[in-house]
Amino acid sequence: MINTHLRDSFQDLISAAHEEKLEMALRGFVTYFRFSRASLFAYSPLTYKGEGLLRIEKDTIYRFEEIREDVRSIPPVYSAITGCKPEFVPHCINHFPIKYVKQFELSSLVVVPITRANTILGAALVDRYEGEEAIEELLPSLFKYGRVVGEIIAAPGQKQKTTPLSNRETEVLQRMSLGESIKQMADHMRISEFTVRDYIKSAMRKMGVQHRAQAVAEAMRQGIIE
């Protein structure tokens, strides 16, 4: 049944605009997997930062872009991202910053990586499970859903005329895909870190994307980088 829902979700997401895709992806966690809350984060391999995008509780969507954390300080999230597999966290108080445990009343949750090919775009944190099936049995389907979400979010909603990337802009995207930090790129390219950031921003602007991970995924999709 869940696999059928995933196919239906894929078709719905494919025709949606970017913002709608994010909201529909979140609603899928609530509708298909019986979690009453889901939060979507973007991830940057350059800074190891997770950035809050949207959260759904029951049927209401909230923005929470003020959250930015180095995921290396949150082992289950870092493990899910680096291992590219969902992680069930039965006791959040042992693994998450206490400020978030208190603010969001966290008890247990699942970290679901959002991927496109071999690129990590972000992660979803889902909790307040209301289903009858054991959470551990849902992990394979959650993994598949995370891949569906990643593929569709990374794809452009509609074709539009874009400005070609410069050689330097292409190079920073290629190096980003390999996991190089801004400092490493600056050293290898013999330019300042400020200039590296400027190339990243201009590439994102030309590609019409909002996040670095999305820029890498889109560049891979178009064959700009390998």
What is the SS3 assignment for the chain? CHHHHHHHHHHHHHCCCHHHHHHHHHHHHHHHHCEEEEEEEEEECCCCEEEEEEEEECCEEEECCCCEEEHHHCHHHHHHHHHCCCEEECCHHHCCCHHHHHHCCCCCEEEEEEEECCEEEEEEEEEEECCCCCHHHHHHHHHHHHHHHHHHHHCCCCCCCCCCCCHHHHHHHHHHHCCCCHHHHHHHHCCCHHHHHHHHHHHHHHHCCCCHHHHHHHHHHCCCCC
Residue 87 is predicted with a pLDDT of 96
Residue 167 is predicted with a pLDDT of 94
CA distance 17 to 36: 24
Residue 217 is predicted with a pLDDT of 75
Residue 15 is predicted with a pLDDT of 45
Residue 157 is predicted with a pLDDT of 52
Residue 94 is predicted with a pLDDT of 94
- 167-221 CATH fold: Arc Repressor Mutant, subunit A (1.10.10)
The CATH 3.30.450.40 domain(s) of the chain lie at 2-154
Q: What is the mean pLDDT of the chain?
A: 84
Residue 35 is predicted with a pLDDT of 94
Q: What is the CATH number of domain 2-154?
A: 3.30.450.40
CA-wise closest residue to 44 among 112, 121, 116: 121
Q: Which two tokens stand for residue 55?
A: 């959260």
Residue 162 is predicted with a pLDDT of 61
The CATH 1.10.10.10 domain(s) of the chain lie at 167-221
Residue 89 is predicted with a pLDDT of 96
Phi (first) and psi of residue 2, to 5 degrees: -65, -40
Residue 37 is predicted with a pLDDT of 95
pLDDT-flagged residues of the chain (< 50): 1-2, 4, 6-7, 9-11, 13-16, 158-160
CA distance 173 to 215: 7
Contacts of residue 205, defined as CB under 8 A and 6 or more positions apart, other chains included, come to none
CA distance 92 to 216: 31
CA–CA–CA angle 170, 175, 179 (5° rounding): 145
